[in-house]
């Protein structure tokens, strides 16, 4: 069957209930869906009924654009992006769709005519927690930009039934609650059972001769499951185009054993259904036990196999031969989670489609490119060989063959250098033999990119140094970016309105070229005053939310000092806490001390099995408990941990922040995107020269960035000379006083030794060099306190930060991927 777009799709009219954008049309559509989709009388409809009816109303308007992407996918001359990612942290859909479709104001009016408040309906939406943090949110920003730039794209991932856990704080500790984001259904997705795929696991392989007498290999699995796709449209900003997020749910091929049921074995009758659905049950299962590792690898293979089968299906119904598959698709591996796609495409081409190995490898090499997101060795996935072979026996054989041919190439490149071959090998022979997934992706990827200039340089000099030595042309940099549609227009309407009144609205889609036009306004006193009013309003809104969620009352006229991100030792939230304790000690010594009042706002989740990160959360809350109730501190310091940091909460926090804490150890953060979200919303940055901080400092100007700390080279030099953290403690009275107060149990009187494991790590090991950077951090914070007192100057710097952040739009990132990696044209 050849894919063809229908030309007779009915044209939209302004007042049509399915496609019209007038207030009357939207109102009628909502009422129609209350009746025909929700089967409710308006007088009996719940808030969720109204939300679902509105979601269907908005979705109808996106469907009007669906045929344009179908035409692009059907066009054999257009290349399609297949974006493979284990995470897509999309955030709530409704508000974003209203902004991108240009119907936000009319929808608010239509909803008001029905006696409802749009904000209440927006709050009703469950956030799909299909990601852990920056990786998944980057994928979401990229899907937004792909659609807005008119690039036909399919984002492929897993429809996790339970996403990242919901975080509660009880007695200062993180408590994980199941994320039941699907409990009330999901009106944004379209179920596509007719596009289902089968996926094999386990079993064995055997040699056989085909009908032409050729020796072939057959995979005989011991388990087969079905992957069922669910499509979510991703609307472009003010264009008749969408991207498609295609998420896969695992199901049993045969979900009910009728024979077992007939003989009374009711559990066995549904056993296959239960086991099969486990694969897409939960985001990132605990992989400490063997069963967790098996499930995690099964998830990775499941979604890439479904994705590649789907892409091959699309390619063939375009009417093209399979040997031109690389002309139809550019496939991006978003980190190593989907790297098994390399072996799976080879299996599909060679085993299922009868292609010669060399021809299949040429196609594979031209299809894939690989984005590396980390320099941390523990985050570079490796799978033990026996374990991998038990689950994916055919893929282990294919990887051995890829590796054999690759190492022959390496030996021709560097004859006699067995050390180089060993270091480059996909198979790690040291200790327990394992498969290096980053190496598999690097061998196959025709492009390998880092996500910030510093990260790409370090990638080339450290973890992938040997690959860079033999394939220097494969390495490119594409610095991360964020979409201004969600992170400014939607989340910060007060600022967006001010910008629109000053420079128009072209910046929303042309951020790189247009936003700099506000720079001259930094010298306009009236504009600065409006800027402060916007920030003060956002701070007041966040203060109200903080009180609602935590019970804490915070003063919007204090400096909002914010660190929200995943809780991890390398991100150094505990360095921030040492600063708080240092200020607290100063006040204890001198209760009349005149300091700049601050509200410290933390947020973020610790991995459930990461004990030290969870202890840091407890530390923040215990320090806050003592500081917040000390009468000598009142009005000057406040510490808040905002629970369950996610996209929806981030939309409230980023616009209100005035100081952005980007204080990771130099060389540990690949890029970061939170640093960009803060900056485009007018927060100033205190940070190290790490990740994209380097480029942000260059863009906004060193004089508008609060820099501190060791550089990457200084970190490496200090380790080389022998880092002794205890010496910093002994020689710095201020640091010693802060650490000793924590050791004393002052902040944990119920359990004085609670933080000893964390403090002992700092004094005896300090792998992330907090103590080495402590004094520089404190000095920089003192400069910030002084700078904040001059509000005219602070506001001027804030405006210039936003004006010079143009390059950090995800639109720019996607243009670079299109030009330098995918070789794909933009435009609807």
Q: Which residues participate in catalysis according to the annotation?
A: 373, 565-566, 571, 673, 677
Cα separation, 249 vs 160, whole angstroms:
7
**Would you say 57 and 21 are in contact if contact means Cβ atoms under 8 Å apart?**
no
Neighbours of 680 (CB within 10 A): 24
- Name the burial class of residue 442, with classes exposed (0-12), middle (13-18) and buried (19+) by CB atoms within 10 angstroms of its CB: buried
Strand pairing category for 368-371 and 382-384: unpaired
Task: Give the DSSP H or E segment for 62.
Answer: helix 47-74
Cα separation, 334 vs 82, whole angstroms:
11
User: For the residues of 384-397, what is the DSSP string, one character each?
Assistant: EHHHHHHH-HHHHH
In terms of Cα–Cα distance, which of 88, 8, 593, 628 is closest to 307? 88
Rg of the chain in Å (alpha carbons): 28
Structure tokens at 640: 């808040």
In terms of Cα–Cα distance, which of 466, 455, 500, 510 is closest to 694? 455
172: β partners: none
Structure tokens at 416: 């006699």
Our measurement of the distance from residue 253's CA atom to the centroid of its chain's CA atoms, rounded to an integer in Å, reads 32
Give the helix, strand, coil percentages of the chain, each rounded to 5.
Answer: 55, 15, 30
Length of the chain: 828
200: β partners: 224
Strand pairing category for 242-252 and 223-235: antiparallel
Q: What angle do CA 532, 534, 537 make, to 5 degrees?
A: 105
Structure tokens at 206: 């055997």
Residue environment code for 350-365, b if the CB has 16+ CB neighbours within 10 A, otherwise e: bbeeebeeeebbebbe
According to DSSP, residue 164 is labeled S
Cα separation, 558 vs 597, whole angstroms:
5
**Would you say 599 and 558 are in contact if contact means Cβ atoms under 8 Å apart?**
yes
Helix boundaries (H) for 17-46? 23-36
Our measurement of the distance from residue 143's CA atom to the centroid of its chain's CA atoms, rounded to an integer in Å, reads 12
Task: Give the DSSP H or E segment for 98.
Answer: helix 94-101
Neighbours of 282 (CB within 10 A): 19
- Name the burial class of residue 190, with classes exposed (0-12), middle (13-18) and buried (19+) by CB atoms within 10 angstroms of its CB: middle
Cα separation, 406 vs 343, whole angstroms:
14
Q: Which are the contacts of 343, defined by CB distance < 8 A and separation ≥ 6?
A: 392, 395, 398, 399, 402, 440
Neighbours of 827 (CB within 10 A): 10
Task: Give the DSSP H or E segment for 345.
Answer: helix 341-347
Cα separation, 744 vs 581, whole angstroms:
13
Cα separation, 188 vs 185, whole angstroms:
9
Q: Which are the contacts of 350, defined by CB distance < 8 A and separation ≥ 6?
A: 356, 357, 360, 398
According to DSSP, residue 807 is labeled G
User: For the residues of 420-464, what is the DSSP string, one character each?
Assistant: HHHHH-SEE-SSS-EEEHHHHHHHH-S-EEESSHHHHHHHHHTTT
């Amino acid at each position: 069957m050849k894919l063809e777009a229908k030309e007779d799709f009915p044209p939209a009219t302004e007042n049509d209930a399915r496609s019209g954008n007038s207030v009357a049309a939207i109102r009628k559509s909502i009422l129609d869906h209350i009746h025909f989709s929700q089967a409710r009388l308006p007088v009996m409809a719940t808030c969720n009924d109204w939300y679902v009816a509105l979601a269907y109303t908005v979705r109808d308007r996106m469907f009007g654009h669906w045929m344009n992407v179908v035409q692009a996918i059907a066009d054999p001359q257009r290349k399609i992006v297949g974006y493979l990612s284990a995470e897509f942290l999309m955030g709530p859909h409704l508000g974003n769709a209203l902004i991108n479709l240009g119907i936000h104001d009319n929808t608010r009016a239509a909803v008001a005519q029905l006696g409802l408040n749009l904000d209440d309906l927006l709050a009703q939406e469950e956030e799909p927690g299909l990601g852990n943090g920056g990786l998944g949110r980057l994928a979401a920003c990229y899907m937004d930009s792909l659609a807005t730039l008119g690039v036909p794209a399919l984002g492929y991932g897993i429809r996790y039934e339970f996403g990242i856990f919901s975080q509660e704080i009880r007695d200062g500790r993180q408590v994980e609650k199941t994320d039941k984001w699907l409990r009330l259904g999901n009106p944004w997705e379209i179920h596509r059972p007719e596009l289902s795929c089968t996926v094999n696991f386990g079993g064995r392989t055997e040699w056989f001769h085909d009908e032409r007498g050729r020796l072939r290999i057959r995979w005989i699995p011991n388990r087969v499951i079905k992957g069922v796709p669910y499509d979510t449209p991703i609307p472009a900003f003010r264009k008749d185009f969408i991207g498609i997020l295609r998420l896969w749910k695992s199901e049993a091929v045969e979900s009910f054993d009728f024979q077992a049921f007939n003989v009374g074995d009711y559990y066995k009758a549904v056993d296959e259904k239960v086991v099969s659905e486990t694969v897409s049950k939960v985001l990132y299962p605990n992989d400490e036990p063997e069963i967790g590792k098996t499930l995690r690898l099964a998830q990775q293979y499941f979604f890439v196999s479904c994705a590649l089968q789907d892409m091959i299906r699309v390619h063939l119904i375009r009417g093209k031969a399979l040997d031109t598959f690389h002309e139809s698709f550019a496939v991006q591996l978003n980190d190593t989670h989907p790297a098994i796609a390399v072996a799976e495409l080879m299996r599909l081409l060679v085993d299922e489609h009868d292609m010669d190995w060399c021809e299949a490898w040429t196609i594979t090499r031209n299809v894939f490119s690989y984005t590396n997101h980390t320099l941390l060795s523990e985050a570079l996935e490796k799978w033990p060989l026996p374990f991998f072979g038990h689950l994916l026996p055919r893929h282990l054989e294919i990887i051995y063959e890829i590796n054999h041919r690759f190492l022959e190439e390496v030996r021709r490149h560097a004859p006699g250098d067995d050390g180089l071959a060993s270091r480059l090998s996909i198979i790690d022979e040291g200790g327990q033999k394992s498969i290096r997934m980053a190496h598999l992706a690097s061998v196959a990827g025709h492009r390998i990119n880092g996500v910030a200039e510093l990260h790409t340089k370090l990638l080339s000099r450290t973890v992938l140094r040997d690959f860079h030595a033999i394939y220097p042309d494969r390495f490119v940099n594409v610095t991360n970016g964020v979409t201004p549609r969600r992170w400014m227009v939607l989340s910060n309407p007060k600022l967006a309105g001010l910008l629109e009144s000053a420079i128009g609205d072209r910046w929303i889609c042309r951020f790189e070229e247009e936003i700099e036009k506000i720079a001259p306004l930094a010298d306009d006193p009236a504009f600065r005053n409006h800027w402060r009013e916007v920030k003060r309003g956002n701070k007041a809104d966040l203060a109200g939310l903080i009180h609602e969620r935590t019970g804490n009352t915070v003063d919007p006229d204090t400096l909002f000092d914010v660190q929200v991100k995943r809780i991890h030792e390398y991100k150094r939230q505990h360095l921030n806490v040492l600063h708080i304790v240092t200020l607290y000690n100063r006040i204890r010594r001198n209760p009349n001390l005149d300091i700049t009042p601050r509200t410290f706002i933390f947020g973020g989740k610790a991995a459930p099995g990461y004990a030290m990160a969870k202890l840091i959360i407890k530390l923040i809350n215990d320090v806050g408990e003592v500081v917040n109730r000390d009468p000598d501190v009142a009005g000057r310091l406040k510490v808040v941990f905002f629970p369950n940091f996610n996209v929806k909460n981030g939309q409230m926090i980023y616009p209100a922040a005035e100081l952005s804490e980007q204080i990771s150890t130099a060389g540990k953060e690949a890029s970061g995107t939170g640093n960009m979200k803060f900056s485009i919303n007018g927060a100033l940055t205190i940070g190290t020269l790490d990740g994209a901080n380097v480029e942000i400092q260059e863009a906004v100007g060193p004089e508008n960035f609060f820099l501190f700390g060791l550089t990457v080279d200084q970190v490496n030099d200090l380790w080389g000379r022998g880092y002794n953290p205890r010496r910093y403690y002994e020689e710095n009275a201020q640091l010693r006083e802060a650490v000793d107060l924590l050791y004393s149990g002052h902040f944990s009187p119920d359990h004085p030794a609670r933080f000893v494991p964390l403090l002992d790590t700092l004094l005896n090991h300090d792998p992330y060099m907090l103590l080495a950077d402590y004094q520089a951090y404190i000095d920089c914070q003192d400069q910030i306190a002084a700078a904040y007192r001059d509000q005219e100057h602070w506001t001027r710097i804030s405006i210039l930060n936003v004006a010079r952040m143009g390059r950090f739009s995800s639109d720019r990132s996607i243009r670079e991927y299109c030009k330098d990696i995918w070789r794909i044209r933009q435009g609807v």
